[in-house]
Structure 1
Amino acid sequence: MTGLSTPQRESLQRYLDDYPALAALYEAKQRYKRWLLLKNLRKKRAGQTLPEPMTLIEQLRHTPLRRLARTLTSWLEPIVMMWRTNKSNGPTEGFHNKMEMMTRWAYESRNFENFRLRVLTHCRWDGMMNRV
């Protein structure tokens, strides 16, 4: 229940107290979320801690959330492979953001070559890449 204000937390707790089945599902979701957010988890350790989420998925198979269990099962390998490296795609996302911003600026631009040079300048192009 992190990230909630005190009144929100109290309201959620009252709601979960009234619906025990929902409380169990909420707790299972929180456990799965904590597992996904482990910062020091790498591929080897993820494989060692995998039985806990697998138990959760098996429990979901016997509830109305069967579809969620199927989705989690089909995406389990990509989820585990996510920990093979600690790299992020932050720089790529940053360049993409800049491109979108410059595209908005360039709606009135009639010269594509000037737009291209502006993109390369903003992305700190050093001139080492061949032009396609």
Structure 2
Amino acid sequence: MNDANECQILITVLDILQIMLMSPSNARSWTPRVKQIIFDEVHSIGNAEDGLVWEQLLLLSPCPIIALSATVGNPEEFGSWLASTQRSIDSEERNGLIRGDALESFKVQPVGYGRSHAGYSSCCGTC
């Protein structure tokens, strides 16, 4: 199947997902069905070329995100950074810079190699 609006599983690259999320007509048709987004290579958020796109997608995603990376050197620090990004957005929302209904809080729960992810379903609430 090649129709992103009808798919149950969407495998895509950052730039295409950005276009899909930022296009109101596309977003209305498929985002209500999306229950999880899986981002691989999330460590590349630090790259100058892709960093802004990563940040936009993390904030625009309509559902919980699973962020994968085999090479994040300090997952706890990375998780703290993600949580601080949400606090910054919440602050901008209070100051009227961002619409309140455009954002949902997200929880960061690092799961390292060899650690159980049994608590994941309670973390995201939609599993």
So what's the TM-score if we normalise by structure 1?
Answer: 0.30
Larger-gyration structure (1/2): 1
Q: Which has the higher helix share?
A: 1
Q: Which has the higher strand share?
A: 2
Instruction: Tell which has more relative contact order, 1 or 2 (C-alpha 8 A, sep 6+).
Output: 2
So what's the TM-score if we normalise by structure 2?
Answer: 0.30
